[in-house]
């Protein structure tokens, strides 16, 4: 019998074919898997151009940092600006073999994989600084094996592409340290309000101690845990000979930070900052403004801003107390949510003791007369209470502070400061199309009779304006009409020169708001924004040359390249001669008129008060040859509280003066320059004619040469 030869299974062609096929499949699967792994890896050269989200910084006119825009608090700094103690602490705690390994630790990876298999879940331990960097910059924080493999591969690539100091620099600039802070520079500011070069050894150790769990080791949340963690970092640094025993003991005794630095909402200038954001965000986009690390250099003077806010709040708080006492209701100076008091009965009734006192609001702006640079902007009393900016967003009636536009229209028609104008009661009627004044020769009795015939007519409206206080003086000089803020002079002037001419003056000065074509326009019944009103009136102080308000000097990108820079645009709108005549009369408002409180500054100031009907809006706008400022106060709900305290524009002038006394301290007391073509003559302030040498009350008046009075 022939014995058959048996071939072992592993040598059989079928088995070998199967094994070969399986091997090919494994190779293909591995290739596909590695292709998948590498497809999720970004090119490592991108790290050379890595630009993380940076903090945009805002500076005042003196280059003082006043605000930061950021999604992430991050500031990039070169390695040489990072304290050595901070560098050593990171290496000691996070990767003691950092300067010798190729980007990964095989022993650490093996230990981590073993732990993962035992626990059944992925951990983030055993990562070198380079792995942490690759994960932080390019990969997600998801705990998956595939992500871990990509992290290892990317770490090796990074080590091949960059030097150890470059890797350490990138790591220290991107590591998250809690409270929105990325990088050690931002964290130093966040926790200690210090620059990096001011950090102590203990503070550096505390920052490094935050790395594994910033929320848990936050010194403001868990001070005891944070102290223990800091001391552990110091102990490891001593063991690895980065610090001496003496340095270790000294650093352990350092106090812990108790509370975070002051929040931005409590800092001065928040209304100004928000206004800057509203200008730049539409222009550059939210990502660029908040993430690109811009440097914004503004016109604001933060020291003046702080002082102005404190002063305005103090005065308005005192006024609130006066109103409360007048209304007989309780007043709490710390209550920022006080509501407006309302009378429910016309008769005098006892006040509810729980009723809160009304709360005045205010706004204030200061700008450079010639350039338009805004130095101070207050949009309200409490930014965290109301972000509505009453200096740039509110539209309020300017009252008599509108009158300079009327007086300029009169000057353009040939009036002089000595021209006699009517301070007489005049009745105006509306015929369905236009407003008209009754004949000026009608006496008061005739006016009363004439009014009766129109009251019954449905197509007619009648308006009889009055001066504040109800008194009129007949015929007075144009100057006196402005100084005493005579309403009857204003409405008679606008009737004489034409409403449209007054509107044209306001437009040329810079007013863009809607202006009603009614005689009451002369009394400021239109609604204006403070910023626009201030810029327009400043045109007269600048010799008739208009410049817009501006807030930003220049914007630079993170590399210092200028993206935009303010270029002043000047527009000559009025003659220097007429502008000087108007400003010279407005100086009289301060010297002898409704703004006389301001005269205690002892400076050459032109100004105008403004008070609207029922004392709902109170204004004062004043200017020197160099600086102009506007102040407003009133109630947000447009309520009047005359029964509590009857405030006027003269009241507003008081706290305008208190603020400007500080702002003008360093400004020379110059007078407004006299342009060519202006001459002076002594006149009788009652008749407007030349004064005799013996007259005691004569005043020196300015005229365009050739228009002076010719007779006594």
Strands 435-437 and 428-430: antiparallel
Q: Give me the DSSP letters along 150-173.
A: HHHHHHHHHHHHS-HHHHHHHHHH
Rounded distance between C-alpha atoms, residue 92 and residue 238, angstroms: 9
Rounded distance between C-alpha atoms, residue 442 and residue 513, angstroms: 36
The SS3 of residue 397 is coil
Whether the Cβ atoms of residue 485 and residue 397 lie closer than 8 Å to each other = no
* Cα 361 to Cα 202, 335, 628, distances in angstroms: 47, 13, 21
The SS3 of residue 573 is coil
Most distant CA atoms of the chain, gap in Å: 165
Q: Which of 70, 400, 472, 579 is catalytic?
A: 400
The SS3 of residue 712 is coil
401 annotated active-site: no
Rounded distance between C-alpha atoms, residue 390 and residue 592, angstroms: 30
Whether the Cβ atoms of residue 610 and residue 402 lie closer than 8 Å to each other = yes
**Of 652, 669, 668, 665, residue with least CA distance to 311:** 652
* Cα 662 to Cα 307, 602, 657, distances in angstroms: 8, 13, 9
Strands 295-298 and 56-59: parallel
Q: Which of 68, 72, 94, 382 is catalytic?
A: 94
Place of tokens 């640094």: 237
Strands 552-556 and 562-565: antiparallel
Of how many residues is the chain composed? 712
708 annotated active-site: no
Whether the Cβ atoms of residue 69 and residue 290 lie closer than 8 Å to each other = yes
113-127 b/e with 16+ CB inside 10 Å = b? eeebeeeeebeeebb
User: ∠ CA(230), CA(231), CA(234), 5° rounding?
Assistant: 90
Catalytic residues: 94, 400
């Amino acid at each position: 019998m022939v014995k058959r030869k048996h071939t072992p299974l592993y040598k059989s062609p079928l088995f070998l074919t199967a094994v070969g096929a399986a091997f090919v499949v494994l190779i293909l699967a591995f290739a596909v898997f590695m292709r998948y792994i590498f497809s999720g890896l970004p090119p490592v050269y991108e790290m050379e151009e890595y630009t993380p989200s940076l903090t945009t910084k805002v500076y005042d006119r003196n280059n003082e940092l006043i605000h930061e825009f950021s999604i992430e608090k991050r500031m990039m700094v070169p390695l040489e600006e990072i304290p050595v103690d901070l560098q050593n602490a990171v290496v000691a705690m996070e990767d003691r073999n950092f300067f010798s390994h190729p980007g990964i630790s095989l022993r650490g990876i093996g230990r981590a994989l073993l732990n993962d298999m035992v626990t059944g879940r992925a951990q983030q331990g055993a990562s070198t600084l380079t792995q942490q960097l690759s994960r932080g910059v390019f990969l997600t924080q998801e705990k998956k094996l595939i992500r871990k493999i990509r992290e290892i591969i990317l770490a090796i690539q990074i080590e091949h592409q960059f030097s150890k100091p470059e890797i350490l620099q990138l790591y220290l600039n991107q590591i998250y340290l809690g409270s929105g802070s990325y990088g050690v520079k931002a964290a130093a500011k966040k926790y200690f309000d210090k620059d990096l070069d001011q950090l102590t050894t203990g503070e550096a150790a505390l920052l490094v101690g935050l790395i594994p769990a910033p929320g848990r080791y936050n010194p403001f949340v868990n001070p005891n845990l944070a102290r223990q963690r800091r001391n552990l970092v110091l102990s490891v640094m001593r063991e690895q000979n980065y610090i001496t025993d003496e340095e270790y003991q000294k650093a352990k005794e350092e106090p812990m930070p108790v509370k975070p630095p002051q929040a931005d909402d409590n800092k001065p200038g928040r209304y100004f900052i928000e206004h800057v954001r509203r200008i730049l965000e539409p222009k550059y986009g939210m990502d660029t403004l908040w993430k690109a690390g811009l440097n914004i250099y503004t016109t604001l003077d933060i020291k003046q801003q702080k002082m102005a806010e404190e002063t305005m709040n103090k005065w308005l708080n005192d006024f609130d107390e006066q109103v409360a006492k007048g209304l007989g209701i309780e007043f709490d100076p710390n209550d920022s949510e006080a509501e407006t008091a309302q009378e429910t009965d016309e008769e005098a009734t006892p006040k509810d003791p729980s009723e809160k006192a009304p709360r005045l609001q205010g706004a204030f702006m200061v700008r450079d007369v010639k350039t338009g640079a805004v130095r101070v902007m207050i949009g309200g009393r409490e930014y965290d209470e109301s972000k509505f900016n009453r200096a740039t967003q509110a539209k309020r009636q300017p009252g008599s502070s509108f009158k300079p536009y009327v007086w300029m229209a009169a000057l353009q028609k040939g009036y002089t400061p000595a021209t006699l104008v009517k301070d007489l009661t005049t009745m105006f009627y509306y015929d369905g199309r236009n407003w008209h004044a009754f004949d000026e020769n009608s006496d008061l009795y005739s006016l009363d009779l004439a009014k009766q015939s129109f009251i019954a007519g449905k197509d007619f409206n009648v308006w009889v304006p009055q001066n504040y206080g109800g008194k009129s003086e007949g015929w007075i000089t144009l100057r006196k009409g402005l100084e005493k803020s005579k309403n009857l002079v204003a409405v008679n002037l606008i009737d004489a020169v034409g409403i449209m001419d007054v509107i044209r003056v306001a437009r040329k000065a810079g007013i863009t708001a809607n202006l009603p074509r009614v005689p009451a326009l002369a009394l400021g019944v239109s609604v204006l924004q403070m910023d626009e009103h201030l810029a327009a009136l400043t045109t007269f102080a600048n010799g008739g040359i208009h410049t817009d308000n501006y807030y930003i000097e220049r914007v630079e990108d993170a590399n210092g390249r200028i993206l935009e820079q303010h270029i002043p645009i000047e527009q000559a709108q009025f003659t220097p001669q007429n502008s000087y005549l108007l400003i010279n009369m407005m100086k009289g408002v301060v010297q002898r008129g409704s703004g006389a409180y301001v005269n205690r500054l002892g400076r050459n100031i032109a100004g105008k008060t403004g008070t609207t009907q029922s004392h709902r809006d109170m204004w004062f706008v004043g200017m020197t040859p160099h600086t102009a400022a506007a102040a407003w106060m009133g109630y947000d709900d447009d309520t009047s509280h005359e029964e509590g305290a009857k405030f006027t524009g003269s009241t507003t002038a008081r706290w305008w003066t208190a603020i400007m006394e500080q702002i003008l301290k360093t400004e020379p007391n110059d007078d407004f320059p006299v342009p060519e073509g202006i001459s002076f003559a002594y006149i009788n302030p009652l008749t407007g004619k030349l004064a005799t040498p013996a007259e005691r009350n004569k005043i020196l008046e300015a005229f365009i040469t050739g228009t002076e009075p010719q007779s006594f």
